[in-house]
């Protein structure tokens, strides 16, 4: 292999720098060889300077449609009057005058505040100095692919929704702008890290539900809502807030929806997907967002081209119509032919409350009642899933996520996100607002300092495939798998002044039924299954169930969910009491 340097200029690298570089490896270079290696380093430095001098290049496919410009916005984060749930980060109104289709006509969509909207500040749920090392948030020059696809389909981008600090909390009290409240009960978690997405869609859900039951509207407690949101999920961050918020949240198959233009945590586990007030809207939005974009390395040969993406809602409607034509779309026959596997280990995870377990048993019984074949199956590796997810993610999540270092694959690299070095000042801020991020830095250093760090990572990666095979083995005989989402009914926000353990304890166990499917890539939907009593209070809060299918088989999930709801939707299992 030959190396060509573009330098003929004066030397910029001295011997001291060479020695420093060698010392980082514990190497001492022989004195008579130092000049040779110094010369090579100097050539590299000069070559690097050539690239440094070039202007940044932005892929024109990501530039905003000129017809949608100029854009204005209002920051609502922390504004208790306009934003009582603290669900909104920035509010705007962006439409495309000449959309390519009318699929989303009349639909309002928000995106998690780690998704780029050209001209609108991006926060990542943290403080600007931790995201860029400056006092101001970056303002992207590009629209993320999911944003472009919403606009091209006739939808309106209404802004960004608050998210948890660096997307690292399954609960909703760590955002830099303060806690995000549950739309059903103020002061309680709405789940994270796509917390604002959950709350802003739930505001729409609550209004419709209260109207249905003839209850007084509580608009002043909710703020503005939307029908649809686009969340992010690395360990459960779409499904968990969807469960606590009583809405529908789909973590699609890994690589089905491009992640281009979204702040990453780790490509292996990065997912983005729809969070909606209805199942039908979830199917609709998924068909708009899905399909290869030619830029995201998370996409694979299995990812469909845009023109080959299924029209999930149309297919669902056709399937329903076929059953209605044969008088099967009834509460006792809608599920005939469906095969549902209840994962035994999912009902035994650490911290799962008896109340949530009973709701899951009732959900399984409802599948039986509609004529589905329901069986409890053992998947022993399900219990190991969280450990596999942890060991696979910890060594690299700091570098690729919290430091935004570019992976060695062609991609859009989010150049405006330039976190500074983790130091004492960063520690003190993060320790106060979200100790989970501090823990992640410590975890990464601890794992990478092990002499056998790469061996452990390689072994864990092998077990990812084994875990995928375990689920696929069961899915040969079943259409969907069933587990709980949230292990407990939503908790109260902890006091901001609590010590680390007080802030971390409520989140323990939250991802034990969700993170497995981030590493295996299977699609998983959270949907309302019933109600539970709020702890430390007299209110009621939604509880979610999770349906999982084969990779790229989101259609089976939509069918099973729709059939289940023929016998009664989860939010309709209300006992007549809110307090």
Q: Which residues belong to the active site?
A: 112, 193, 237
Return the ∠ at Cα 222 (arms to 216 and 223), rounded to 5°: 125
CB 561 within 8 A of CB 525: yes
Question: Under 8 Å CB-to-CB from 141, ≥6 apart: which residues?
Answer: 58, 63, 118, 416
The residues pairing with 530 across neighbouring beta strands, listed in sequence order, are 543
Q: How far from the centroid of its chain's Cα atoms is residue 214's Cα?
A: 34
Return the residue matching tokens 């048993």: 361
Distance CA 452, CA 244 (A): 40
CB 121 within 8 A of CB 159: no
Q: Where are the alpha helices (DSSP H) in 113-265?
A: 128-131, 145-152, 195-212, 219-222, 239-245
Three-class DSSP labels, 64-114: CCHHHCCCCCEECCCCCCCCCCCCEEEEEEECCCCCCCCCCCCCEEEEECC
At 541, is the secondary structure helix, strand, or coil? strand
Return the residue matching tokens 């209110």: 539
Task: Count CA within 13 A, CB hemisphere, residue 366.
Answer: 24
Distance CA 453, CA 181 (A): 40
DSSP codes of every residue in 475-535: HTT-SEEEEESSSSSPPBPPPTT--HHHHHGGGTTTTTTTTHHHHH---EEEEEEEEEEPT
């Amino acid at each position: 292999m030959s190396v060509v340097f573009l330098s003929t200029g004066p030397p910029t690298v001295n011997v001291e720098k060479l020695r420093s570089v060698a010392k980082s490896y514990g190497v001492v270079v022989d004195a008579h060889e130092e000049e040779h290696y110094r010369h090579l380093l100097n050539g590299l430095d000069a070559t690097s300077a050539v690239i440094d001098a070039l202007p940044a290049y932005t892929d024109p496919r990501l530039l905003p449609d000129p017809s949608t410009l100029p854009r204005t916005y209002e920051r609502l984060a922390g504004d208790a009057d306009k934003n009582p749930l603290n669900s909104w980060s920035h509010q705007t109104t962006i439409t495309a005058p000449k959309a390519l289709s009318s699929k989303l006509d009349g639909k309002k969509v928000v995106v998690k505040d780690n998704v780029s909207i050209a001209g609108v500040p991006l926060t990542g749920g943290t403080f600007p100095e931790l995201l860029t090392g400056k006092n101001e948030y970056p303002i992207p020059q590009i629209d993320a692919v999911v944003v472009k696809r919403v606009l091209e389909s006739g939808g309106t981008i209404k802004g960004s929704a608050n998210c948890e600090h660096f997307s690292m909390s399954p609960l909703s009290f760590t955002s830099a702008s303060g806690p995000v409240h549950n739309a059903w009960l103020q002061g309680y978690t709405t789940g994270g890290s796509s917390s604002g997405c959950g709350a802003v869609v739930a505001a729409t859900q609550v209004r419709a539900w209260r109207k249905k039951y003839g209850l007084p509207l509580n608009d002043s407690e909710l703020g503005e809502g939307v029908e649809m949101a686009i969340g992010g999920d690395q360990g459960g961050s779409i499904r968990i807030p969807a469960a606590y918020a009583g809405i529908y949240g789909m973590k699609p198959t890994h690589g089905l929806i491009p992640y281009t233009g979204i702040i990453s945590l780790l490509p292996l586990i990065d997912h983005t997907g729809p969070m909606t007030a209805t199942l039908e809207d979830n199917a609709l939005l998924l068909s708009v967002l899905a399909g290869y974009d030619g830029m995201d390395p998370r996409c694979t040969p299995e990812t469909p081209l845009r023109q080959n993406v299924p029209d999930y809602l149309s297919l669902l409607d056709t399937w329903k119509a076929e059953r209605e034509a044969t008088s099967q779309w009834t509460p006792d026959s809608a599920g005939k032919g469906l095969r549902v596997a209840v994962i035994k280990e999912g009902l035994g995870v650490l911290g799962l409350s008896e109340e949530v377990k009973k709701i899951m048993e009732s959900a399984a019984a409802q599948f039986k009642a509609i004529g589905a074949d329901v069986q409890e199956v053992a998947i022993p590796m399900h219990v190991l899933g969280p450990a596999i997810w942890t060991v696979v993610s910890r060594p690299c999540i700091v570098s690729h996520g919290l430091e935004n270092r570019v992976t060695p694959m062609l991609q859009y690299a989010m150049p405006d996100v330039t976190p500074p070095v983790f130091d004492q000042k960063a520690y003190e801020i993060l320790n106060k607002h979200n100790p989970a991020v501090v823990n992640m830095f410590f975890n990464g250093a601890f794992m990478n300092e092990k002499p056998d760090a790469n061996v452990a990572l390689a072994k864990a990666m092998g077990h990812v495939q084994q875990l995928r095979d375990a689920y696929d083995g069961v899915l040969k005989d079943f259409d969907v798998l069933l587990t709980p989402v949230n292990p407990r009914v939503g908790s109260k926000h902890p006091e901001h002044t609590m010590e680390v353990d007080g802030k971390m304890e409520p989140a323990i166990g939250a991802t034990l039924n969700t993170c497995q499917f981030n590493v295996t890539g299977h699609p998983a939907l959270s949907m309302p299954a019933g109600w539970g009593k709020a702890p430390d209070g007299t209110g009621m809060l939604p509880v979610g169930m999770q349906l999982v299918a084969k990779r790229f088989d989101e259609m089976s999930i939509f069918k099973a969910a729709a059939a289940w709801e023929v016998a009664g939707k989860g939010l309709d299992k209300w006992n007549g009491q809110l307090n």
